[in-house]
Amino acid sequence: MDLLGWLIFLVALLFSVMLHETGHFVMAKRFGMKAPRFMVGFGPTLWSTTRGGTEYGIKAIPLGGFTKITGMTALEDVDPEDEPHTFRQAPGWQRLIVLVAGSFMHFVLAAVLIFGVALGIGIESDNTTQLGAVATCVAPSVTALTNGAPCTAKDAKAPAAAAGLKVGDQVTSFNGVKVSSWDQLSGAILDVKPGSEVTIGVDRGGRPLTLHTKLSAVPGRPGAYLGIGQATVIQSASPLAAINYVGSGFAQEITGSGGIVAHLRTEIPLLFSSHRSHNAGANVTSVVGAADDTGQALAANVGWEYKASFILLLIASVNIAVGVANQLPLLPLDGGHEWAVIWERTRARIARRRGRPDPGLVDYRKLAPVSLSLFALLAVLILIITYADIVNPVNIG
């Protein structure tokens, strides 16, 4: 399953990279720029064909791909006859569209995956009274309850087990009052004093049952204790709800990434702690970690819906993260080139208003030292996260 997980994730990653390059390529061709090569993979060329002035091919190492657009910077030597069709001679707005198109394709893929999961598989819903867990004993303390300590011979039988409740039961009423949500059921349990007799109405596979038990209490925990846990239910969403799910997915990924960056200095040591799996910030992962998560999801003892939705949403999450990261104003990322174009056109506008000649293209040699130094720091961070994923992988549970 680990090997299959790696294979699935790497194929998805390769597809994402090629979609990114397709975005650049299509828009460059649309604006009349010369794009002599569009390649899948790196290294020696295994096969290629030339059509419309572009060589399409497959290379030996399937770890990405690239699009060659002529004249990306002022430093590139170009044949005089090709100069009118270079990237650098195109209007600023066209160059920005070509550059943004790569990240845009990541966002489109992510949106399609999230929308498809919500509409085709469903969204995890907590609007249910179905039981996903039934405790066998009453924990001796809140700490034991929280940590899931195993039962001992001294522990009393849990009220839920004594009543005969089973995983999969749908609770329909509590003490004669109908319940339709988990919050309503939880509130009804807390309103009863420990030691009180209660009746529980359930639907078990379409058969209505009325069960009886006496509620208990866990020392240090307020309210009565029944000993039940909610099931996670996947419910198909409407098209409108699926669109809303796409928006919330993007917002969650972007804000989560921002929070990780803001607390990066404190999060890095947690990558190597024994509690990494329980720390949201330290759950930032690399390609290695994401592939491992895919393998864990395939091996999990859950239904195919949970496996498929987890893997597809993971791929969507990675695409959002890659799309956002690619917009950072660092060379050689697209964001670095975008800000170079923006600065170039801003500088030209200022010069025009002052009656001075256009300063021309940005000199990348002046931008490179600082930008590449920051990019090197980003590369080091990626290596640290990758190493953490190897020596201290996250258990997704």
Q: Supply the DSSP string of 113-171, one letter for each residue.
A: HHHHIIIII-EEE----BEEEE-SB--SSHHHHHHTPPP-TTSPBPHHHHHT--TT-EE
The answer to whether the beta carbons of residues 119 and 234 sit under 8 Å apart is no
**Which DSSP category does 218 fall into?**
-
Q: What is the pLDDT of residue 70?
A: 95
Q: What is the pLDDT of residue 381?
A: 86
Give the whole-angstrom CA distance, residue 183 versus residue 200. Answer: 16
Runs of H (alpha helix) within 57-139: 92-116
Please name the helix (run of DSSP H) or strand (run of DSSP E) that holds residue 211, with its range, or none: strand 207-214
Residue 346, classed as helix, strand or coil, is helix
The answer to whether the beta carbons of residues 70 and 80 sit under 8 Å apart is no
Query: What CATH number was assigned to the domain covering residues 131-231?
Result: 2.30.42.10
Q: What is the pLDDT of residue 331?
A: 83
Q: Which residues fall within 8 angstroms of residue 258, CB to CB, at 6 or more apart?
A: none
Q: Which of 21, 253, 338, 344 is catalytic?
A: 21
In order of 95, 110, 226, 318, the CA distances from 23 in angstroms are: 13, 14, 56, 18
Q: Which residues fall within 8 angstroms of residue 150, CB to CB, at 6 or more apart?
A: none
Runs of H (alpha helix) within 276-333: 287-299, 304-325
Q: What is the pLDDT of residue 317?
A: 93
Cβ neighbours around 364 below 10 Å, total: 18
Please name the helix (run of DSSP H) or strand (run of DSSP E) that holds residue 85, with its range, or none: none
- Split the chain (397 residues) into runs of 10 and give each run's mean pLDDT: 82 91 95 93 90 91 85 89 94 96 96 95 81 91 83 92 93 93 90 93 94 92 90 83 93 81 74 71 77 86 84 93 90 89 93 92 81 83 87 76
Please name the helix (run of DSSP H) or strand (run of DSSP E) that holds residue 63, with its range, or none: strand 54-68
**Which DSSP category does 216 fall into?**
B
Residue 55 known to be catalytic: no
The answer to whether the beta carbons of residues 135 and 228 sit under 8 Å apart is yes
